[in-house]
Amino acid sequence: MSDPTVVGPGGGEVIGDAPDRRVEILSDPEEMHATWSRFGPRRDGADLHIHRDHTDIFYVLEGELTVRLGVEDESVVVPAGTLARVPPLVVHGFRNGSDADVRYLNIHAPGVGFADYMRGLRGRRTVAFDQEPPPADGVRPATEAVVGGDGFQADLPGLRVTLLADVEAVAIAEAWGEPGGPSSPPHVHDRHVESFYVLEGELALTVSGRELRAAAGSWVQVPAGVVHAVSAPEPVRFLNLHAPSCGFGAFLHAFDDTGDEELAAGRADFDQHR
């Protein structure tokens, strides 16, 4: 068990930094790897490929990202504030098709070596990773990719949560919190990693009596087995990620019904307890 980490804006492990591209590794536990990227106008990204054993996710922070889908190479523009989820065996690629910079998070769940693959690109060496060119057959239809959220929204006093993705490998929600709204009681996850990315405002995390503050642009990661509580010292908007999901989607539905985290976790058999 290790301590929670806070990676401040621009503080990730830099893989490449040039006028038209910057990439930082934010997270690399085996459950989920995450990077932050900036691509300049008309900058190409990855050619068409598949992943056999993991889910590939993009969340656009600023600008717009063009995701390429299917063997037909259909272009789908993903605007800021939108998540795109690509399941295993769906052909995809991406690029910046616009005349402005794009900034986005890229999440691979489970990680299956993605961070080391990116480090290999920096060092110009080959590193094994679950990625290959589109095969002649055996792919899944492009329609299985999802752009936008799953549609469920929970509204509580001082807190609004929208579920963006809920698959076995990872669950992601976008949350808006107000000062004085419900703060999570101290709790622990035994079987999964919980992470946060602060989009606006500031998030506070309390661990072992000490408080960590995370400003906009920060990544926060809480390993399994660490007791923690989260609060909003000011209006805040953030992503909340659970890898693997361990029943988070069902928990969110139950929480919307009860307003009680402990009761909701029990009803949903979610990996959370005090």
What does the pLDDT look like over 6-36, one tens digit per residue? 999 999 999 999 999 999 999 999 999 999 9
Superfamily of domain 153-268: Jelly Rolls (2.60.120.10)
The dihedral region occupied by 91, where left means phi > 0, alpha psi between -120 and 50, and beta the remainder, is beta
- Of 80, 229, 261, 37, nearest in space to 161 by CA: 261
Residue 207: phi and psi, rounded to 5, are: -135, 125
Q: How many CB atoms lie within 10 A of CB 218?
A: 21
Give the number of other Cβ atoms within 10 Å of residue 270's Cβ: 24
pLDDT at 123: 87
**Structure token pair of residue 29:** 């536990």
Q: How far is CA 1 from CA 15, 117, 230, in A?
A: 27, 25, 19
CB atoms near residue 180 (< 10 Å): 10
> CA nearest 102: which of 17, 23, 40, 13?
40
Phi-psi region of 15 (alpha: psi -120 to 50; beta: other; left: phi over 0): alpha
Q: 45 phi and psi, to 5 degrees?
A: -115, -115
Place of tokens 């900034």: 103
Rg over alpha carbons for the chain, rounded to the nearest Å, is 18
Whether 153-268 and 11-147 are alike in CATH topology: the answer is: yes
**Cβ count within 10 A of residue 148:** 12
| The pLDDT value given to residue 182 | 64
Q: What tens digit of pLDDT does each residue of 188-197 get? A: 999 999 999 9
Q: How many Å from the N-terminal Cα to the C-terminal Cα in the chain?
A: 17
Q: φ and ψ at 198, to 5 degrees?
A: -85, 120
Which residue ranges make up each domain of the chain? 11-147, 153-268
Q: If you count DSSP H runs as helices and E runs as strands, how many of each does the chain have, helices first?
A: 3, 20
> What per-residue confidence (pLDDT) applies to 237?
97
State which amino acid sits at residue 266: G
**For residues 84 and 78, is the Cβ–Cβ distance under 8 A?**
yes
Burial (0-12, 13-18, 19+ Cβ within 10 Å), 83: buried
CATH assignment of 11-147, among 2.60.40.10, 3.30.230.70, 2.60.120.10, 3.40.50.300: 2.60.120.10
Residues of the chain with pLDDT under 70: 1, 182
Would the pTM count as exceeding 0.85? yes
| Alpha carbon distance 205, 221 (integer Å) | 10
